[in-house]
Amino acid sequence: MHLRLDHVTKRFGDTAAVDDISFEVPRGSFATLLGPSGCGKTTTLRMIAGFYDPDHGDIVLGGKRINELPAHRRGTAMVFQDYALFPHMTVKGNVSYGLRVARVPAADRERRVTDILQFVGLAGLGDRWPNQLSGGQQQRVAVGRALVLEPQILLLDEPLSNLDAKLRVQLRWELRALQQRLGMTFVYVTHDQDEALSLSDWIAVMNAGKVEQAGTPWEIYYHPRTSFLADFVGAVNLVPGTVREVRGEEVVVAFGERAVTVRRPSGLALSVGREVHLCVRPEALALRPASADPDGVRLPGVVARRAFLGDLMRYWVTVDGREWIVDQPDPGAAADFDGPVTVAVKPERIHVIAE
């Protein structure tokens, strides 16, 4: 393991910004701390960087406890949300700053700065001042400035949040490609679930100072352990229900007048009568004409409204007085639905959340 946090707590006054969290990040992985603002993700990142001292717990980097190591000796370069470019230094000045601090010889320094500028796509802009650059370029300077030091680990604090949507997506891929090329460990903080899902090898979703769940994007998205989490990482249908029967690896969950047999989530002990939520992603549902009789679970309903999102059509369908979100891909390929419809879902696409 490259980075390990062990029962780390940080309090500000009476509130615990980070409350007894533990996780591990393997070497060379792209790890993301995801959560709404105020969840403690930035505080966690800043503790790794050494800007805050944890009140309890250990931070271990490369097998070494770094709690007592001053921030500037940790080798944890950071990319800041506002980039924190030094306005009185040129692009080159910013990028070479860390090398100058480390007393890298001038010739070597020059070469590495040129290389890194090339690498982040800023070749030829070295003599510009930060205020002469676009937002995307400033972001690249910030990344280049951190990367040039070849740090053990790169910390990124919402580095894309100040950019426009298209650029954000483009730079997202660039960051991911960069990380894979370098094989470096990235710890990335964001509140944007798309970003987190698309970039990460591993995600820890934080809420109120705690890690709600950590795992691969796939696990987080399809097998959330809490309804908060299910809701936070994407559009979801959360339907309250009750466990009626437990049969080995399967459970029967009653919701409203209906019941469905689904797979029991591994490691989750469920007893009869337990209140649960059924969790279904909108794209796992399909719309059929009211008369159709598809396999799996069939839910008769009425289309309440719909929204055209380009790559898909989103429907809100009223079933037993409750609205379900249903996404139909490739809207251009089929006619729109209206009025009474049947919502179809395969039982294996339904996930049970025990709360």
Partner 1 sequence: MRSLQREPGVLLALLAVIALVAMFIVYPQVRVVLTPGSAYVDFLSAGSWKTPLLNSLQVMALSTTTAVLIGFVFAYAMVYTDMRWKPLFRLIGILPLLSPPFVVAASYILLFGPRGVITYGVFGQTISIFGLAGIWGVQTIAFFPFAYQLIADVLSRSDARMEQAARNLGAGPWSVFRTVTLPLSRPGLGAAILTTAIYVLEDFGNPALVGGQFTVLPTQAYGLISGFGDLPSAAAVSTILLSLALLLYVAKIRLDGGQSFVTVSGRASSMPRPPVPPWLSWACFAVCGALCGMILLVYGSLVVSAFTLTFPVNTAFTTSHFEYVFSGVNGVALRNTLVYGLSAAAFSSVFALLAAWLVQRGAWSGRRVLDFLLIMPAAVPGLFFGIGYATAFNEQWLDWLNRGVLIIISMIFWNIPVGYQAAVAGLRQIDRSMDEAATSLGASSLRGFRDVLLPMLGGSLRVGFVTTFVRAVTTLSVVIFLFTPGTTVATIRIFQLVNDLDWGGATAFTVIDIGLAIVALSVMAVLARGRIALGASRA
Which residue ranges make up the site for partner 1 (CB under 8 A)? 46, 49-51, 53, 68-73, 75-78, 80-90, 92-94, 96-98, 100-102, 129-133, 135, 138, 145-146, 149, 155, 162
The least distance separating partner 1 from the CB of residue 339, rounded to whole angstroms, comes to 44
Q: How many residues does the chain have?
A: 355
Of residues 86 and 173, the one with the C-beta less far from partner 1:
86
The least distance separating partner 1 from the CB of residue 54, rounded to whole angstroms, comes to 10
Q: Across-strand partners of 153?
A: 76, 185
The least distance separating partner 1 from the CB of residue 205, rounded to whole angstroms, comes to 25
Of residues 49 and 299, the one with the C-beta less far from partner 1:
49
Of residues 14 and 295, the one with the C-beta less far from partner 1:
14
* 3-class DSSP assignment, residue 150: coil
Residue-wise burial string across 164-182, b where 16 or more C-beta atoms lie within 10 A, e elsewhere: eeeebeebbebbbebbeee
The least distance separating partner 1 from the CB of residue 209, rounded to whole angstroms, comes to 21
Of residues 140 and 277, the one with the C-beta less far from partner 1:
140
The least distance separating partner 1 from the CB of residue 275, rounded to whole angstroms, comes to 44
Residues 6+ apart with CB under 8 A from 182: 147
Of residues 65 and 73, the one with the C-beta less far from partner 1:
73
Q: Across-strand partners of 62?
A: none
Q: Environment class of residue 313 by beta-carbon count within 10 Å: exposed (0-12), middle (13-18) or buried (19+)? A: buried
The least distance separating partner 1 from the CB of residue 231, rounded to whole angstroms, comes to 31
Q: How far apart are CA 133 and CA 95, in angstroms?
A: 14
H-state helical runs in 8-61: 41-49
User: Do 273 and 242 contact (CB within 8 A), yes or no?
Assistant: yes
The least distance separating partner 1 from the CB of residue 286, rounded to whole angstroms, comes to 45
For strands 237-247 and 250-255, give the pairing: antiparallel
Of residues 135 and 331, the one with the C-beta less far from partner 1:
135
Residue type for position 149: L
Of residues 53 and 245, the one with the C-beta less far from partner 1:
53
The least distance separating partner 1 from the CB of residue 28, rounded to whole angstroms, comes to 20
Q: Alpha carbon of 98 to those of 89, 117, 150: distances in Å?
A: 13, 14, 10
Nearest CA to 302 out of 346, 343, 341, 247 is that of 341
Per DSSP, 225 falls in state S
Of residues 81 and 226, the one with the C-beta less far from partner 1:
81
Q: Residue 230 has which token pair?
A: 């299910």
Nearest CA to 215 out of 8, 26, 3, 13 is that of 26
The least distance separating partner 1 from the CB of residue 23, rounded to whole angstroms, comes to 21
Dihedral sign from CA coordinates of 120, 121, 124, 127: negative
